[in-house]
Copies of this chain bind each other. A is one copy, B any other.
Amino acid sequence: MRKCYIVSEEKGRRRFLKPVSLAEAFELASSSFSLSLRTKVVKLEDALGTILAEDIYSSMDMPPEDRAFYDGFALRSEDVENASSSAPAVLTIKERGPVGRGEAVPIGAGEPLPEGADSVARTEICEVLDKRVLVKAPLRKGENLIKRGGDLRKGEVALERGRSLRPQDIALAMELGLSEVRVYEKPKVAVMHVGKEVLEKREKGFPYPDNFSQLASLMLKSFGFETTHLGIFPENAQQFVEVTLKAMDNYDALVVVGRASIGEEDLVPRVLQDIGRIVFHGVGVSPGKVSGLAVVKEKPVFMVPAHVGSAMASLLLIVIPALTLSLYGSREPYFRLRAKLKGYIEGRHGLAAFRTVAVKREGEGFAAYPVSKELGGSPFLTSLTRANGFVILEPGSKLKEGESVEVRLFSPQELLPCSLPEKSK
């Protein structure tokens, strides 16, 4: 058992014995626990946004018959085999099929080919004269058709497992005659807050004294997790053990906000080592250094600091990517884009840095403004409300004004133009 959380005293201050790098934290997390998604069956009309847990095979050819590729006339190619602009074929217009020798039926792009026809003459090569049509070029059999099964053949996979179901995906499943599908359940994450100062704040009448754990809970929710806030607890080891062990039975993961650092009052890492295993404690990133991971009953317990910038960094850099990797096998839950940096961003010596930015459209691209130039993007709660994404800096690196930087958006909704009503402003 690694006693990573044990602290050393140096220059009058307690320090993490062995903080890990962000990359090491990730490696350790991905090898220390393994979660699986549960599945459930839902009605198709309730499936929007769920993730498909099975391959869906097509029960039919799509389209189910030959169709016109262009507007024009459905006809028999043998009737126009010698047609040219100087010697057009002359066919009789019929309102609908079947199409016999010497006949043509008007057809719109995408409409089923009437019986008897084997090709479609585009409007451009046709000239209508009363009840007849002149066709001015020859056609091959099958020309300008969308063939039966051309889009999807019977027995092919129509919708693959893992697809996040959108309106058109559900409409296709409906077209195939299905009424329900098997999808993945949302993973369940519990969040708790430890710290008597939060309890005291509640006694003073604050409705949400635990706003940083509420932030954690809402942040996880916005990334597709089902979250339960277990409440606020005092620094009581026995109570913490009971709540934690129970949570491990009922949820896929636990996030503990507060009392995760290296002070004497920080019981969380000590207790987690007693009832489980500390995977890492202390991460080389600023803010977010006071982050940790333990495994209890084979499930992850994340330690998240109760300061807003640190909590945000810990959640976005460690908790959410680690859970996403274990559950979905994908390392990166964020919408990434490149933007031109407006201002400079500086990291701290020896630590990776988490810096928040406000991305805006500028010209054909994007510009990223550090949310507070004065703070170099330092994450106070008010700054966070002005930001819509973040940048990760390598330890010791600096980003200069005008550089192209990779920004991860807090949510892909962030750049929607309609999020702010302009109407009555």
Residues on A close to B: CB < 8 A?
11-13, 44-45, 48-49, 51, 62-63, 69, 93, 95, 106, 109-110, 128, 131, 146, 150-152, 158-164, 166-172, 174-175, 177-179, 206-208, 211-212, 214-215, 217-219, 221-222, 229, 286-287, 307-309, 312, 324, 328-338, 364-365, 372, 374-375, 378, 380-385, 387, 404, 410-413, 415-425
Contacts and interface: CB of A to CB of B under 8 A. Distances in A.
B218 A170 contact: yes
Given A170-B218, A412-B413, A175 B418 contact: no
A219 B170 CA distance: 10
A12, A63, A338: most-surrounded residue (chain B CB, <10 A): A12
A51 B416 CA distance: 13
Contacts of A286: 109
A299 to B, nearest CB: 18
A215 B110 contact: no
Contact of A166 (B162, B337, B378, B410): B410
Copies of this chain in the oligomer:
2
A338 B364 contact: yes
Contact of A332 (B160, B417, B424): B417
A169 B419 CA distance: 14
B330 A422 contact: yes
A13 B419 CA distance: 44
A162 B421 contact: yes
Contacts of A13: 106
Contact of A167 (B11, B222, B380, B412): B222
B418 A332 contact: yes
A420 B151 contact: no
A171 B412 contact: no
A128 B69 CA distance: 81
A419 B164 contact: yes
A364 B417 CA distance: 23
20 contacts: A12-B95, A12-B128, A12-B131, A45-B229, A48-B221, A51-B419, A69-B378, A158-B382, A160-B420, A162-B425, A167-B215, A167-B221, A168-B381, A172-B384, A175-B211, A179-B208, A329-B423, A330-B417, A337-B337, A338-B365
